[in-house]
Amino acid sequence: MFRNDLIRHGLLVETGVCGVYGRAAEFEDTVERVDRLVSATGAADGADVMRFPPILNRAHFERSGFLKSFPHLAGAVHAFSGQEHSHRQLLRAVEEGRDWSEWLPATEVVLTPAACYPVYPTLAGLLPGKGRLVDVMSYCFRHEPSEDPARMQMFRMHEHVRAADASTIAAWLEVWLARAMSVTEALGLDARSEVASDPFFGRGGKLLADAQRDQGLKREIVAPIASDECPTAIISLNSHQDHFGEAFGIRTVDGAVAHTACVGFGLERIALALYARHHFDRGRWPSPVREALGL
């Protein structure tokens, strides 16, 4: 099993929670090299670099619509705010192995579900003539405990985010589709691009997913990780149309609601795909792959 092999080879460290791993030195180094390759791929565009901690303003999260579509994946931050009496009750619950969450009300923040979410609120207002382009990378949280090492509860995503008019966005996504494929080629991955949909919640979710596919709003680059038959998305390209523009009041220079799109590279997933494809001895990966990673 690929998950156990990763642990046995000292690449991932178990934490006792499904889908939460420590990264040992070499695996972290591989992730950082993939991250630098993604940075280099987009460097000529001169994006504004922003780095956010992996938490998000709760009010912005509510406005984003994430809870409508993906409530099952969201994570919120709760914290103790009582005095000594409730502290004693809290400690008693911990000691007796009971649930202690009642003493931790919600805070002003939630965990970041995708690296681009903190960016949209910063774009509110009138965009410059050419729109905006932001390079962002952070740990993201998805509450989907799984034995599949490619489905981690926290993982890093490096994204480029574009806000502009619809036709600029469409052209920009075409450029990144080609770039994304060239990254996977440089890494020697057996990757292909396909029309995809998001994992919308509930019975109505299938309709939303079908509509997303029909409109071609999401493409994924997939590559084998835990299985050859069911390859995993390692890069995704997403057109949000005017969703975030509406939600956060982002307008193009002529006053119209801006369109947005993002391309996201799953850093751990790309690293995992490298180990799955080229095996565990990084010193023996093909020379062009080692070169692309600066090894």
- CA distances for 102 relative to 57, 78, 85, 92, 248, angstroms: 22, 10, 14, 13, 33
Binding to a copy of itself (CB under 8 A) within 46-85 occurs at: 48-60, 62, 67-68, 71-72, 74-84
Q: Each residue of 8-38: b (16+ CB within 10 Å) or e? A: eeebbeeeeeebebebeeebeebbbbbbebb
With binding defined as CB under 8 A, does residue 24 bind a copy of itself?
Answer: yes
**163 contacts 254 by C-beta, under 8 angstroms:** no
H-helix or E-strand spanning residue 133: strand 132-141
Shorter beta-carbon distance to a copy of itself: residue 53 or 216: 53
Binding to a copy of itself (CB under 8 A) within 231-270 occurs at: none
Q: Which stretch binds a copy of itself (CB under 8 A): 1-9, 101-109, 172-180, 241-249?
A: 101-109
Q: Min. distance of Cβ 114 from a copy of itself in angstroms?
A: 15
H-helix or E-strand spanning residue 176: helix 166-186
Query: CA–CA separation, 74 vs 282, rounded Å?
Result: 35
Shorter beta-carbon distance to a copy of itself: residue 91 or 256: 91
CB atoms within 10 A of CB 168: 17
Q: Which stretch binds a copy of itself (CB under 8 A): 9-17, 219-227, 240-248, 274-282?
A: 9-17
209 Cβ contact partners less than 8 Å away, ≥ 6 residues apart: 197, 198, 199, 200
Binding to a copy of itself (CB under 8 A) within 171-210 occurs at: 201-203
Query: CA–CA separation, 295 vs 282, rounded Å?
Result: 9
Among 123, 182, 154, 160, CA closest to 31: 154
Q: Which of 8, 36, 105, 128 binds a copy of itself (CB under 8 A)?
A: 105
> Whats the size of the chain, residue-wise?
295
Q: Which of 30, 41, 153, 232 binds a copy of itself (CB under 8 A)?
A: 153
Q: Min. distance of Cβ 275 from a copy of itself in angstroms?
A: 16
Shorter beta-carbon distance to a copy of itself: residue 189 or 270: 270
If phi over 0 gives left and psi between -120 and 50 gives alpha, with beta otherwise, what is residue 143?
A: beta
Q: Which of 2, 35, 45, 143 binds a copy of itself (CB under 8 A)?
A: 143
Give SS3 for 269: helix
Q: Which of 113, 118, 245, 264 binds a copy of itself (CB under 8 A)?
A: 118
**111 contacts 56 by C-beta, under 8 angstroms:** yes
Q: Min. distance of Cβ 125 from a copy of itself in angstroms?
A: 14
Q: Which of 6, 11, 37, 121 binds a copy of itself (CB under 8 A)?
A: 121
With binding defined as CB under 8 A, does residue 139 bind a copy of itself?
Answer: yes
Q: Tell me which residues touch a copy of itself (CB under 8 A).
A: 13, 15-18, 20-25, 28, 48-60, 62, 67-68, 71-72, 74-84, 87, 90-91, 94, 99-101, 104-109, 111, 118, 121-122, 139, 141, 143, 145, 152-155, 201-203
